Structure 1
Amino acid sequence: MGEFELIRRYFAAAACARMSGEADGVALGIGDDCALLGVAPGEQLAVSTDTLVAGVHFPEQGDPGLLGQRALAVSTSDLAGMGAAPVGFTLALTIPSVDPDWLAAFAHGLDAMAASCGMRLLGGDTTRGPLSMTLTVFGRLPSGQALLRSGARPGDLLCVGGALGDAAGALPIVLGERDGHTPEAAELLSRYWSPQPQLGLGQALRGRATAALDISDGLLADCAHIAAASSVSLIIEQSRVPLSSALLAVAGAEGGLQCALAGGDDYVLAFTLPADAAPGLREEGWPIHVIGHVARGEGVHLLDTAGRAVAPHRRGYNHFQG
């Protein structure tokens, strides 16, 4: 099977590539040399690119259907972190060989997540080589309303959009180092393989949050980006960090907390809010978990239940550090 037949059979024919209409900003999708996107007056285009590599971001022998879901979800989460509404994505897929069963499963998982997120496949590329994929996602939002990392102010609340650490708690199960045949393990595995980008929350935070991002490398590491960009200090009370019952059952209280603080792969939003903005968001039904506050100074500081500073074991994932 050649490259173009592969694209036609597994990707151009997928539901996420055959969506029609310009209401979402797509004037022309897959099939030509370029896709054409329209930006309405008063709007901006949000663009983000992620590369996922076998053996680094996912196991070499991972389930292709789950991999398709995960690949698009983690990329789309960047749009949520900016408060953007989803438009579409491109996929550059590198595979070692043409395996029809693998491709069919991968395309099915990709299509399922695209439907869940309202994302349209706009085009891409396929090539032969070690398994990896690069996705570029596109979103739109009103001009000047993007959620940035640079607006946090002393006195703001520091919040997250849900329980943290589940994906990190699942990693030993994914790698076959821990039993995965329990309901709690299944729940953690779902969070690892099928994270749900918080697109609605991100859009609800427009004009309310002073800073935001999605948590991909761990709470402490990613909050450090807000602290640095905003020239402030973020104070985290470890007793207020939300942990799921499944994570506590699998990893225990201390292990679960370490997963939440530095494990990464959560794809939950972290954001800062003026104190008077939180009640309205809660009344609208959005998950608002206050875990600390913004103060003068620099860096991220972790406090125990007595308010004493705690030195974390590690702060998060970094590709170029051991």
Structure 2
Amino acid sequence: MSNFPRFTHLLLFPHLRVQNANAISSPLTHGFPSMTAFLGLMWALERKARQAGIALEFNAVAAVSHRYQELVTEGGFVKAFRLTRNPVGKDGSTAAIVEEGRIHLDLSMVFAVHAEHWDAQAQANDMEAIAQLLSGMRVAGGSVAMPDHPWQRRNQPWVAHFTGDDEAQRKAFREVCVRLLPGSALVARDDLIDRRLAELQTAHPDASRLDAWLSLSRVNWHYDEEANNGKGAWQGDRRKGSGWIVPIPVGYGALGPVHPAGSVTNARDAETPFRFVESLYSVGEWIGPHRLRSPQQLLWYADSKPDDGLYRCRNDYRPADKDNGLDHLIP
């Protein structure tokens, strides 16, 4: 059951250029930053907005990638991060190299906000103020730069209203999707893990969800003797039309109980209860925004269950029925 939070408007900030964002999104994955980083950015932006007198409730976020450049060197099948050498120490000794991955991004940010009363003049003023706040913040550790051509209509911040009837909301979402093209939106595909687990357990009954996740994270090859007119050929399981599937971190799982505020030495915040956690993983898919049918399929939101030790990022994407041939359309 979805617990998608309420919202009345979508705030679109197109084609933000982010320099040197963190490309190590978890202990097991790298590349595009984790959605936890964008949720953290959303909450930080909400706090700054409230301090500036902007009474908006930020409840969900989406990141659409247009271009990226991961700072790596390639040699054959091996990639390595481009590392920087730190200055020598005071005694002249060589400082240790701390591995860090970096990536340059051209992305659009979409925030779902709830506002009780927000007239046109207030929207114009608040959007300008929020854009200024966002330009001075860090996105996944990277610095934000203005779009290459900020005067162009497609690069200007924009507000979509979702306070009308269903038809008006569908029209507003279609316009949002058009403004996000060309690009790729990351959506959750937890269902693929269940499907792959069922496939693995037909041959290996003791297969686990970890085995299914690892299987989806790579291209699995097998030799098919019937392929190529009976001559045999190697076949991969990433067939055409199967989608751009990637392993992603989706939050954190508790390793122990909640500790009272200030009871853990060297914690970042001595006024907030502390808990040791580890990363949770799932599978995502990069998909064109024009194939999404509602804002709920685009946006990510927080789903925290402290009693169960789960602090997850959720997305309500559901694949359309491809048998009807209409999965690429927005109703």
TM-score normalised to the size of structure 2?
A: 0.22
Structure (1 or 2) with the larger CA radius of gyration:
2
Structure (1 or 2) with the greater strand fraction = 2
TM-score normalised to the size of structure 1?
A: 0.22
